[in-house]
Amino acid sequence: MSVYSNIHRAFLQALLIRPFIDVQEGRELLAAIKSAEAGSDVSIESVPPKEFRAIVHTIQNTISSFDLDIREMPDQEDGNHCYALVNDSNDDIIRFATTHTLDEISYFKRLLDEMFDTSNTIYAEIMAVKSMRAISLNKNPPSERENQEVIVENANGEEERQTIAGAGIGLTKQEAEDCLTRFVDEGWLERDRAGYHFLSTRALLELERYLSDTYNIEEEEEQEDGTIRRGPKKLRIKHCGHCSYV
């Protein structure tokens, strides 16, 4: 592993303002950084792909303790391998919390449910949602609107009952339509000519862990004696070489 240097720091800062970069762009960026450090032009030919990947690997090892990672996957449009700086925290869709309301976050999760559960079966792995169907998912389900009582442990180690307020009704259809536009503008979703919305390359990188934890679930079957037998996981989010990024 190479020593962490100013080149690594400058490259990491550049990743902070880019949704993702491919290998060619990464090499061009490193050539520009090296040129600034050396005070003379450094050509892209002097930065081979192997060096680019080595620098990425060094940065990954350095930032992992801060719940950050640089993830790689093929771009959905041209197949070029892309790299993006992502939050590796276990918190659900953590980046949404700073820019969206709770109703908007709930709406986005319903879109994910539609893509990766309803529209992702053994017969048709669509993993996308039509615009009209997406807008119709604007309301929070009744179960989420109800207050919930939970048992928590207080500072004295004693259990006490607390009430968690339920979600609101949800969004109006116009608000849902505006949300879809924002999700596309922010780079979370893409929209094709047929009117389907689907996760962008960046979103797939950012939400990889959340998607796997949420949609790769164990099948459960109730036995005659009332016990529950857990079967193998149903892999809606695949991790094989050819399918893991589809």
The CA-atom distances, in angstroms, between 147 and each of 165, 167, 203 are 5, 8, 31
Average confidence score pLDDT of the chain: 81
More confident site: 236 or 137: 137
For residue 100, the model assigns a pLDDT of 84
Using pLDDT thresholds of 50, 70 and 90, give the confidence band for residue 157.
Answer: confident
Q: 85: which 2 tokens?
A: 């700086």
Q: Are 32 and 13 in contact (CB under 8 A)?
A: no
Q: Provide DSSP, 51-69.
A: HHHHHHHHHHHHHGGGTEE
Helix pair 49-63, 6-16: axis angle to 10 deg = 80
pLDDT per residue over 111-147, tens digit each?
Answer: 999 998 887 766 667 789 999 999 999 998 876 656 6
Per DSSP bridges, beta strands 217-222 and 196-199 are: unpaired
Q: Are 203 and 214 in contact (CB under 8 A)?
A: no
The CA-atom distances, in angstroms, between 224 and each of 10, 39, 219, 229, 241 are 62, 76, 17, 10, 39
Give the C-alpha separation, 227 to 116, whole Å: 29
For residue 56, the model assigns a pLDDT of 95
Count other Cβ atoms within 10 Å, centred on residue 87: 16
Taking Cα atoms as reference points, which of 42, 77, 50, 61 lies closest to residue 3? Answer: 61
Region 6-87: CATH code: 3.90.1150.220
pLDDT, mean of residues 6-30: 92
Domain definitions of the chain by residue range: 6-87, 94-201
Which residue has tokens 């800062």?
13
For residue 241, the model assigns a pLDDT of 45
| pLDDT over 90 at 24, yes or no | yes
Its sign, for the CA torsion 50, 52, 56, 62, is positive
- Look at 59-68, 191-200, 226-235 and tell me which has the smallest mean pLDDT: 226-235
* Degrees to nearest 5, angle at CA 51 with 48 and 56: 130
More confident site: 76 or 87: 87
pLDDT per residue over 211-223, tens digit each?
Answer: 888 887 655 555 5
Q: Are 69 and 56 in contact (CB under 8 A)?
A: no
Q: Does domain 94-201 have CATH number 1.10.287.40?
A: no
More confident site: 152 or 218: 152
Taking Cα atoms as reference points, which of 28, 29, 26 lies closest to residue 45? Answer: 28
DSSP state of 80: -
More confident site: 205 or 76: 205
pLDDT, mean of residues 204-215: 83
| pLDDT over 80 at 7, yes or no | yes
- Look at 30-34, 35-39, 115-119 and tell me which has the smallest mean pLDDT: 115-119
Three-class secondary structure of residue 233 per DSSP: strand
More confident site: 125 or 193: 193
Give the C-alpha separation, 132 to 212, whole Å: 27
Using pLDDT thresholds of 50, 70 and 90, give the confidence band for residue 232.
Answer: very low
| pLDDT over 80 at 166, yes or no | no
For residue 220, the model assigns a pLDDT of 55
